[in-house]
Structure 1
Amino acid sequence: MAKNSLFAILLRSRWWISALIAIIVGAISFALMPEGFRVVGAVSGLPFAVIAVMALRRQWHLPSAARIEQTQQALSAMAWPAFADLLEQAFKRDGYTVQRSKTPAVDFELERQGRRMLVSARRWKSARTGLEALRPLQAARESSEAQDALYIGLGPLSEQAQPFAAEHRIAIWQASELAHALRGLPL
């Protein structure tokens, strides 16, 4: 599906928008079609209803904007030991074996189903994340031959850091991903 097609945009939008479009298209088609074709007109909103269901399924477990804001504020007020313990609980709950790292670029070494991931999270309060935070993580990943790398930070990535993270497949967790990962844990 093309990134900017109508259905792709609707899949990224709130689910109820597609449901509303399905209802409007179906109702207008039903009202304007001749007597024998009204059922066909009413069904014309069906593709939008399918998109609404798909979007709802994707968004079902995602945190609300209020939950994301609450999580960001709570994490911003935490000290490193409390934040590290919280992350460790979340990783263990998700099935990872967690090992705290002693290297400066990596805070956690995770393993699940034979895949290793290095996590850098100590600079989670930084206002902006630049290459100076991502390069050491990538270097540690290459030297340890870990398959995955994850950087955790509440601030946005700099213009130079975004393509670097994408090129080197470094996953980035910000407030929304943290709100989802820390669901159910006391902040």
Structure 2
Amino acid sequence: MAENSLFAILLRSRWWASAAIAALIALLAWALLPPDWKLAGALMGMPFVVIAVLAGWRQRHAPSAARVEQTGQVLRALAWPAFAELLEQAFRRDGHEVTRRDGAADFVLERKGRQMLVCARRWKSARAGLDTLRELQSAREAAGAADALYIGLGEFSEQAAAYARAQRIAVWQAAELAQALRGLLPPAR
């Protein structure tokens, strides 16, 4: 599916947006079509109902905007050893074997024979740059790892975001961290 197609955009949007479109189609069809065509016209909104269900299913455990903001505040206040320990706990809880390392990647995760390099030490940086992602990609290639993950709370430059997409480097920011660290975070101060 194309990234900017209507259905892709609706899958990333709140579930009720697709449900509203389906309801609008059904209402218009019921109001404007001849009696023999009303039901068929109303059913034309079914793809949007399916998208609403899929989006709702994906979003069922998504953290709220307030929770994402709180997570960002808590994580910005942590020192690297505490943050690294939280990440390690979360990765282990999700079934990964975790090895810490130095260099472009801070962790090597392994699950089911598949390796992932994780760069997280610069999580507080205000802006994620291209150089960090290039270093991570080089380390990934050198290690022969299948996946790479960059963790950071700062903004991504346009070039860095394009590079991450092109190299298939996963990016976790506040929303993904709120989900991954659920139940592990200390309370906000």
TM-score between the two structures when normalised by the length of structure 2: 0.87
Q: CA deviation at 1:143?
A: 2.4
Q: CA deviation at 1:41?
A: 3.5
Please give the secondary structure, in 1, of the residue aligned with 2:109.
Answer: strand
TM-superposition CA deviations, 1:89-128 (whole Å, max 9, x none) = 1000110001111x23221111100011111111100011
Q: Which moved more, 1:7-16 or 1:87-96?
A: 7-16
TM-score between the two structures when normalised by the length of structure 1: 0.88
| Structure 2 partner of 1:154 | 153
Question: Cα 1:164–1:51, aligned 2, differ >3 Å: closer, same or farther?
Answer: closer
Is 1:65 aligned to 2:80, yes or no? no
Which structure 1 segments of 5+ residues have no match? Answer: none
Q: What is the 5 A alignment of 1:1-187?
A: 1-101=1-101, 103-187=102-186
Q: CA deviation at 1:74?
A: 0.9
Q: CA deviation at 1:33?
A: 3.1
Q: CA deviation at 1:16?
A: 0.5
Question: Cα 1:74–1:31, aligned 2, differ >3 Å: closer, same or farther?
Answer: same
Question: Cα 1:8–1:78, aligned 2, differ >3 Å: closer, same or farther?
Answer: same
State the one-letter code of the partner of 2:5. Answer: S
Give the share of equivalent positions with the same residue, in percent.
64
State the one-letter code of the partner of 2:12. Answer: R
- Mapped to 2, the partners of 1:112 and 1:133 lie a distance apart of 25
Q: Which moved more, 1:108-117 or 1:55-64?
A: 55-64
- Mapped to 1, the partners of 2:168 and 2:64 lie a distance apart of 27
Question: Cα 1:162–1:9, aligned 2, differ >3 Å: closer, same or farther?
Answer: closer
State the one-letter code of the partner of 2:19. Answer: A
- Mapped to 2, the partners of 1:5 and 1:168 lie a distance apart of 22
- Mapped to 1, the partners of 2:51 and 2:42 lie a distance apart of 16
Which structure 2 segments of 5+ residues have no match? Answer: none
CA RMSD of aligned residues (A): 1.9
Q: State the aligned residue count.
A: 186
